[in-house]
Amino acid sequence: MSPSTNPLAGFAKFENNSWNGNSRKARMSHMTSKIKILFVDDEPHLLQSLKRMLHSARHEWDCQFASGAQEALDMMARQPVDLIVSDMRMPGMDGATLLTRVRKEHPKTIRFILSGQAEDNSFLRAMGSMHQFLSKPCSYETLKDAVNRAFSLRYRLNDPNWEKLLLEIKTIPSLPEVYYQLMEVVQSSDSSLEDIAAIISQDAGMAAKILQVANSAFFGFSHQIYSIEQAVSILGMDMIHALVLSHEIFSRLSDSKGGLVIKHLWEHNLIVTGVALALAEYEKKGKEFVNYTFTSGLLHDIGQCLLAGALPEKFRKMKDIEEASRISQWEVETRVFGADHQQIGAYLLNLWGLPDPIVEAVAFHHNPSASLQTWISPLTMIHVANVLDRERGERDTGIRAPALDENYLKRVGVFDRFPAWRKVGLQKMEGQ
């Protein structure tokens, strides 16, 4: 991401966000082999242009090319690839149908659409199977950034089965009451975009999906979208209506899949978000910082939502172990699942193309020292707010709260402000 397209350019403490630039290159160094990419387009001259453009990437990427969907499937049957990048409008089988087939037959493959011609209906059909949408003409730098970004967190998932599961995910189930509330509002002639944004802003699954859609190049924005209100405004009522009714974007949690646990996480997310916002306002941060903090707070535990929804029995077992021991939550998760909720949530949001500061807050909210930050950011606010709420929970339940990362607070120069932040946070929680 160049400084000119960075939505936080101008924020002295943010413009060198540690997730970008050299940091991402360092993470990519964990890739020990070339990324295998299959490009699919029915126009020969476009394939030739891609080949010429990608010649300089030959040391990093193993690129293959197919002139149609069936040829692509035949090639993948012989040799699986890490990433497929397909045009949308092709004769016989279009890109949306191709990616649906790939999702079922090759679940470990990341799926992109690269197209200059896509209608709303085709885009909606593809949303359930694609991870990102890129627009033609697409520069080498744009493509390279999207590819490297998609693979930059793969090394953090120690269990390859988790990567397979996350690549198959179409939606993150929402609480039934929130889901039905959204359905009712969308179908009401009296509803407004503000009403819709208010509902989506209560639910991590809905928020993540709407941000994935809004950050798609399909809508033609050169900067990243990081607030729910902004995303809903960009999409508009007709597109929101189509997205909600398509069943490819939003889904509700079944009663048998950890509903009570998700309800508890939902409440925790809202508390952390409220406290983090109070801290940001106390520090007199600007609107963009505050909006990033809100979204990061809402999504910080989305990995737990994924665990509880996808593997409810294992999640309950993990919670039982956590309650009976003095081991930290993420250590128990790693023992039970092979990965913790920070790694899982960050991987999916990164794959979906959400902005870097949000992904970073999700990835490191328990152990921000593992990030490369040396400045105050939404991650700082989320870490402190999460610790304060968990400390309150420890008094009520006896479950050990995550430790405050004092070294990180000292590194970013705010450790001396923590007593005041604690006071602000406790006052906020007492009022909620």
Judged by average pLDDT, the poorest of 158-162, 204-208, 212-216, 393-397 is 393-397
Q: Cβ-count burial of 217 within 10 angstroms (0-12 exposed, 13-18 middle, 19+ buried)?
A: buried
Judged by average pLDDT, the poorest of 53-62, 329-338, 341-350 is 329-338
Q: Which of 179, 194, 184, 339 is nearest to 266 (CA)?
A: 179
pLDDT at position 103 is 94
Which pairs from 309-316 meet CB under 8 Å and 24+ separation? 309/172, 309/173, 309/253, 309/257, 309/258, 309/262, 310/165, 310/169, 311/337, 312/256, 312/257, 312/258, 312/261, 315/258, 315/261, 316/258, 316/261
pLDDT at position 259 is 62
Reported as a single tens digit per residue, the pLDDT across 299-329 is 999 998 888 877 878 888 888 887 777 777 7
Sign of the dihedral through C-alpha 36, 165, 341, 414: positive
In 83-238, which ranges are E strands? Answer: 83-86, 110-115, 132-135
- 31-151 in CATH: which number? 3.40.50.2300
Omega before residue 137 within 30° of 0, cis:
yes
CA distance 403 to 37: 42
pLDDT at position 15 is 35
DSSP state of 215: T
Reported as a single tens digit per residue, the pLDDT across 364-397 is 999 999 998 899 999 999 999 999 998 875 555 5
pLDDT at position 313 is 80
CA distance 414 to 432: 26
Mean of all residue pLDDT scores within the chain = 85
pTM for the full predicted model = 0.86
Reported as a single tens digit per residue, the pLDDT across 128-173 is 899 999 999 899 999 999 999 999 887 677 667 777 788 888 778 8
pLDDT above 90 covers a percentage of the chain that reads 57
**Residue 38, phi then psi, degrees to nearest 5:** -110, 120
For range 186-198, the mean pLDDT? 93
Residues 6+ apart with CB under 8 A from 348: 166, 169, 208, 302, 303, 306
pLDDT at position 331 is 81
pLDDT at position 401 is 62
Please state the domain extents for the chain: 31-151, 176-246, 259-431
| Cβ atoms of residues 203 and 175 within 8 Å | yes
CA distance 153 to 158: 11
pLDDT at position 256 is 54
Q: Is the pLDDT of residue 77 over 50?
A: yes
Judged by average pLDDT, the poorest of 97-101, 324-328, 354-358 is 324-328
- 259-431 in CATH: which number? 1.10.3210.10
- Residue 220 C-alpha from the chain's centroid: 20
Do the domains 31-151 and 259-431 sit in the same CATH topology, yes or no? no
Reported as a single tens digit per residue, the pLDDT across 233-291 is 999 999 998 888 876 677 777 655 556 677 788 889 999 999 999 999 999 999 999 99
Reported as a single tens digit per residue, the pLDDT across 396-419 is 555 556 789 999 999 999 999 999
Q: Is the pLDDT of residue 60 over 70?
A: yes
Kindly write down the DSSP assignment for every residue of 349-405, as one continuous string: HHHTT--HHHHHHHHHSS-GGGS---S--HHHHHHHHHHHHHHHHHHHH-PPPPPP-
pLDDT at position 173 is 80
| Cβ atoms of residues 63 and 53 within 8 Å | no
CA distance 309 to 349: 16
Does residue 114 sit in helix, strand or coil? Answer: strand
> Residue 1: which pLDDT band, with cuts at 50, 70 and 90?
very low
pLDDT above 70 covers a percentage of the chain that reads 86
